[in-house]
Amino acid sequence: MRKIIINGGVNLEGIVNISGSKNSVVALIPAAILCRDIVRIYNCPHISDVIVLCEILKDLNVSVKCEEEFIEIDSSNIEYTSLVSEKMSELRASYYFMGVLLALFNQVQINLPGGCYLGPRPIDLHLKGFKTLNCDYTIDEGILHIKTNKLIGNQIFLDIASVGATINIMFASIFIEGVTVIENAAKEPEIVDIANFLNKMGANIKGAGTSKIKITGVKTLKGCSHFVIPDRIETGTYMLFGSAVAKEMIINNMNPNHLQALIAKLIESGVNLKIDNNRIIISKPEQILPINIKTAVYPGFPTDLQQIITALMTQAHGTSIISEKIYASRFKNCDELIKMGANIRIENASAIIIGPAKLSGVEVAASDLRGGASLVLAGLIAENKTTINYSEHIFRGYGDIINKLQGVGARISVK
Ligand code: EPU
């Protein structure tokens, strides 16, 4: 078990550089093998999910070189194998091998995906999509087997605009003769990044970033280089850290267009921020005002920042209501925040937060990635020592978080 230790109460000051997007790169790595050629991915975050995905590639006889500036994936000698191993259950994004291996080999055998516990996380929309493309599947003791004689293009309507299902169906459709259409597709910036990457390799995808994506099948793909977009959730996380405890924090290499919902809410709560092209300068206000938020699919307020803004709102002067509309049980961090002194109650998938609360450092546990980040924020506020157990969750998605926070003056370390 890894622990993060924070001695809080320090005003942060300095520059934080944002890494490449986790939720983009975890799809780009499986997608890279669609070309059976060499791909270089630049701006890859240093996170454990990337390491696990690269290990999975090796099982498919794909070679991976991790350099300082890029990772190079050579899939010229790829061989089909069943992907049943513990590694697969370590992360959610292992499910992208479904679409990719179906496109390459017409079959895939895989563990059901793992990842953070946020309440039920079904993959029925992925499977319904594959079925519409002429696949059959069975699930036996946690192992999913999907196969087809031939993928056939079709029109797929997603009941929910699911990020993972949209990406997986794009992958499966890449080589299908004719046109496949995804209706009610997810519109997240990561989807645009992944479609751009596939198009660079020679795919023909139109409409990514809108609710209708059209994939016209191509015969083959070729290698390319790609620079991953900035991580909007990491950016948002540091913006929230800055809103709580920064004298002045400059957040570099970010894209403000991807964070309009958060920016609007922070302005409403009185936070001082200045946007300057690809950087944002942020400092804590004299008084944080309470706000109400409902999470929503992009461009709405991201569920991935819900737990972290909840920690910030413990410091607001008044009552905030934060309603979770994507994952009804994404509140496990609140028990830990309460241990630190927060006044929060959960009702009907909403957190009702009464502030300001004086937070004190105690021993807490990270239950998931973003819940872990919310405890880091609380630890930065609390005046004494906070120990965050099970910090592995945090390292799954925040590259170099300890160095980045030490760089702006935080007293934080890892054990
Ligand atoms: N859903 C279904 N059936 C499906 C798929 C999704 O009912 O087959 C439901 C989910 O239960 C959820 C909603 O649809 O209520 C949206 O889920 P979505 O499929 O969009 O989520 P995901 O693809 O599994 C990605 C990110 C999550 C992020 C969500 C929502 C990756 C690897 N994960 O998950 O990121 O919360 O989109 O934006 O891209 C994180 O980074 O901490 C994280 C959890």
**Tokens read off for 344:** 């929060």
Residues designated as active site: 116
Verify that 218 and 294 share a domain, yes or no.
Answer: no
> What per-residue confidence (pLDDT) applies to 90?
84
Residue pLDDT, tens place only, 347-388: 999 999 999 999 999 999 999 999 999 999 999 999 899 999
Q: Mark whether 235 and 302 lie in a shared domain.
A: yes
Which residue type does 69 have? Answer: E
- The rounded mean pLDDT for the chain is 96
pLDDT per residue as tens digits for the range 158-177: 999 999 999 999 999 999 99
Residues 195 and 51 in one domain: yes
Nearest CA to ligand 1 atom 39: 23
Q: Are residues 41 and 119 in the same domain?
A: yes
Does the CA dihedral 30-32-37-38 come out positive or negative?
Answer: negative
Residue ending a domain, among 197, 227, 257, is: 227
pLDDT above 90 as % of the chain: 94
Same-domain status, 305 and 395: yes
Whether 372 and 243 map to the same domain: the answer is yes
Q: Do residues 364 and 339 make contact, with C-beta atoms less than 8 angstroms apart?
A: yes
What pTM, to 2 d.p., does this model score? 0.97
CATH number at residue 318: 3.65.10.10
3-class SS at 390?
coil
23 lines ligand 1 (CB under 6 A): yes
Of 212, 227, 242, the domain-final residue:
227
Q: What is the pLDDT of residue 119?
A: 73
Check whether 115 has a pLDDT greater than 80.
no
Domain boundary pick from 210, 227, 244: 227
Total of domains in the chain: 2
Give the DSSP H or E segment for 51: helix 48-59
> Are 93 and 189 found together in one domain?
yes
Domain extent at residue 258? 4-19+230-414
User: In terms of domains, do 352 and 398 share one?
Assistant: yes
Q: How far apart are CA 140 and CA 297, in angstroms?
A: 32
151 plus 28 within the same structural domain:
yes
Q: What percent of the chain is modeled with pLDDT above 70?
A: 99
Helix, strand or coil, per DSSP, at residue 132: helix
159 close to ligand 1 (CB < 6 Angstrom)? no
Atom number of ligand 1 nearest to Cα 161: 20
Q: Which of 21, 22, 23, 182 to mutate to test the pocket of ligand 1 (most atoms within 8 A of CB)?
A: 23
H-helix or E-strand spanning residue 146: strand 143-147
How buried is 189 (Cβ within 10 angstroms: 0-12 exposed, 13-18 middle, 19+ buried)? buried
Same domain, 246 and 375: yes
Task: Decide whether any atom of ligand 1 lies within 6 Å of the 126 Cβ.
Answer: yes
The token pair that represents 39 in the structure block: 């791909």
Q: Say if residue 214 is in the same domain as residue 294.
A: no
Output the pLDDT for position 337. 98
Q: How do beta strands 363-365 and 385-389 pair?
A: parallel
| Together in a domain, 91 and 162 | yes
**pLDDT tens profile 203-258:** 999 999 999 999 999 999 999 999 999 999 999 999 999 999 999 999 999 999 99
Q: Is the CB of 396 under 6 A from ligand 1?
A: no
CA of 166 to the centre of ligand 1 (A): 10
